[in-house]
Structure 1
Amino acid sequence: MTMNDKMQVSILASSSQGNSLYIKTPRHKILIDAGLSGKKIKNLMALIGEDIAQVDSILVTHEHSDHIRGVGVLARRYGMNVYANAKTWAAMTAKIGVVPDSQKHLLAVNSLLDLDDVTIESFSVSHDAVDPQFYNIHYQNKSFVDLTDTGYVSDRMKYLIQNADGILMECNHDLQMLRNGYYPWSLKQRIISDSGHLSNVDGAQALLDVIGNQTKQVFLGHLSPENNLKDLAHETVSNLLQANDYGVDHDFWLRDTDAEHPTDLTTI
């Protein structure tokens, strides 16, 4: 099997300020979310040697601006197909502007969509959006999971993403930094609620339950610039996994993501 026969992934940007990831298979080039400006996403793609004009589809997780900011611009400029569930479409339409009907597609929560060589599995999460869903991308016998923006990881979620080859897991905040920070109490409550975001420890605990023998790439994402540090998130997750006898950077790679710089295009 050559490189052109495999699935490759780059986390273009991941933080509470903007999110987008790129998935490449032999027959499709897909973005999950486009939460930065169209120009910024184009430039991030160029940094990994990819052309934004070749992207054919955008999968939208939910209507929050850090996930949809560039959706409308990219869809109109490059003719991309946009997939989201009905409630998300209703919530985001006024925010992203007109998308031609021929490019608008419904992808219901907890469903499967076959696109030639890739199967997209949507699954519900617990977040304060109208109908948030994230994705498990299947190509041949490989899978890559995008899971951020959830207040907790249910047993059903764990079952669906068990033993994925690659995982982007939310590590939004360090609980102590959040508690000691300047956010108003109401916002702190929202973040730590069951419809908010996963902490570093929450993300690590979820990984303990889903990493399997096939898992080779684990990315830590959606870090808050106000309530987390990249080194702190990495150390917290790594230490907890190693304490439970997981072979960090031996059996699988534990990788950081960034708000401004893409990860290398990685084969899954």
Structure 2
Amino acid sequence: MSLQFSVLASGSTGNAIFVETEEHSFLVDAGLSGKQMEGLFQHIGRDIGKLSGILVTHEHSDHIKGVGILARKYNLPIYANEKTWLAMDGLIGQVPVDQRFHFDMETVKTFGSLDIESFGVSHDAADPMFYVFHHNGKKLVLITDTGYVSDRMKGLISNAEAYVFESNHDVQMLRMGRYPWNIKRRILSDVGHVSNEDAALAMSEVAGDRTKSFYLAHLSQDNNIKDLARMSVTQTLESRGIIVGEQFDLYDTDPKVPTILTAV
């Protein structure tokens, strides 16, 4: 078996990504209820109880809502950095000490033939970080919840086979929408979320000869729609000389329906 993944849920209402190899499987975030998470696993034909652990990116509720529930019910290890653990205190309930593990930022943890690399992002959380999965020469990058993609991030995530990449909002929809200005300002800031156009610009710089796919993720339910995100990203990429469908493919993600379990 190769490195496989499914974006179980992605959006303002909850986020969760499943990643597996022949030896190990991980859930990255669990931002939905325990019951919803169980339904998503049934959808892809996988058993939550067989997970090697839950990797937490940051403490916002759309990423940790079901973390404590699943960990207690299925006796799962939870991995997060120290500041995120402190920020999660009181938000995920009591977790036994033997299920609490530290995964420091800018480090690599090895599980058999799978290396998981953590890296920092720019978001208004305690110490937000995302992950790169390395397995048998293949590379899967997960990066959402960042206000921008720095040169440091680009260097670390470049030339992966597959990306789950934030394309959170259309700037015009956000500016004209119902959100109060302080929320708009937060989303547009360097510690907010990446827009469709900025996502495409970053994608054009990190894609390489190995790159096969980008999954547009964490779309705002109020300030974006799938067709608009895909169109905006495609047009911006074309302005940089990249033709979608030739160099790589674009895929949608959904707040409720998992993507097909796909090999990297």
| Paired amino acid for 1:60 | V
* Structure 1: distance between partners of 2:76 and 2:247: 37
What percentage of aligned pairs have identical amino acids?
51
How far residue 245 of structure 1 moved from its aligned partner, in angstroms, is 2.5
* Structure 1: distance between partners of 2:63 and 2:33: 10
Residue 253 (structure 2) pairs with residue 257 (structure 1): yes
* 8 A Cα contact 1:30 1:57, kept in partner: yes
* Structure 2: distance between partners of 1:195 and 1:144: 24
* Structure 2: distance between partners of 1:83 and 1:198: 25
| Paired amino acid for 1:62 | H
Task: Judge which range, 243-252 or 182-191, deviates more.
Answer: 243-252
Partner of 2:158: 162
Residue-by-residue CA offset, 1:197-248 (whole Å, 9 max, x unaligned)? 0000111111011011111121000000100011000111112112322231
After TM superposition, list the pairs within 5 Å mapping 1:178-197 onto structure 2. 178-197=174-193
Residue 209 (structure 2) pairs with residue 219 (structure 1): no
Moved over 6 A (4+): none
User: SS in structure 1 opposite 2:173?
Assistant: helix
* Structure 2: distance between partners of 1:201 and 1:244: 12
* Structure 2: distance between partners of 1:193 and 1:243: 25
* Structure 2: distance between partners of 1:165 and 1:81: 28
Residue 130 (structure 2) pairs with residue 128 (structure 1): no
Partner of 2:24: 28
User: SS in structure 1 opposite 2:90?
Assistant: helix
Residue 78 (structure 2) pairs with residue 64 (structure 1): no
* Structure 2: distance between partners of 1:247 and 1:161: 21
* Structure 2: distance between partners of 1:76 and 1:93: 15
* Structure 2: distance between partners of 1:144 and 1:93: 30
Partner of 1:11: 7
Partner of 1:210: 206
Residue 75 (structure 2) pairs with residue 102 (structure 1): no
Residue 81 (structure 2) pairs with residue 85 (structure 1): yes
* Structure 1: distance between partners of 2:6 and 2:162: 11
* 8 A Cα contact 2:214 2:250, kept in partner: yes
User: SS in structure 2 opposite 1:90?
Assistant: helix
TM-score normalised by structure 2 residue count: 0.98
* 8 A Cα contact 1:9 1:267, kept in partner: yes
User: SS in structure 1 opposite 2:237?
Assistant: helix
* Structure 2: distance between partners of 1:182 and 1:122: 35
How far residue 56 of structure 1 moved from its aligned partner, in angstroms, is 1.9
User: SS in structure 1 opposite 2:184?
Assistant: helix
Structure 1's unaligned 5+ residue stretches are: none
User: SS in structure 1 opposite 2:179?
Assistant: coil
* Structure 2: distance between partners of 1:39 and 1:252: 35
| Paired amino acid for 1:133 | M
Residue-by-residue CA offset, 1:89-118 (whole Å, 9 max, x unaligned)? 001021001111111100011111111121
* 8 A Cα contact 1:56 1:79, kept in partner: no
* 8 A Cα contact 1:150 1:195, kept in partner: yes
Residue 107 (structure 2) pairs with residue 111 (structure 1): yes
Partner of 1:171: 167
* Structure 2: distance between partners of 1:79 and 1:51: 13
| Paired amino acid for 2:54 | I
User: SS in structure 2 opposite 1:130?
Assistant: coil
Residue 131 (structure 2) pairs with residue 141 (structure 1): no
How far residue 25 of structure 1 moved from its aligned partner, in angstroms, is 0.4
* Structure 1: distance between partners of 2:6 and 2:190: 28
Residue 39 (structure 2) pairs with residue 39 (structure 1): no
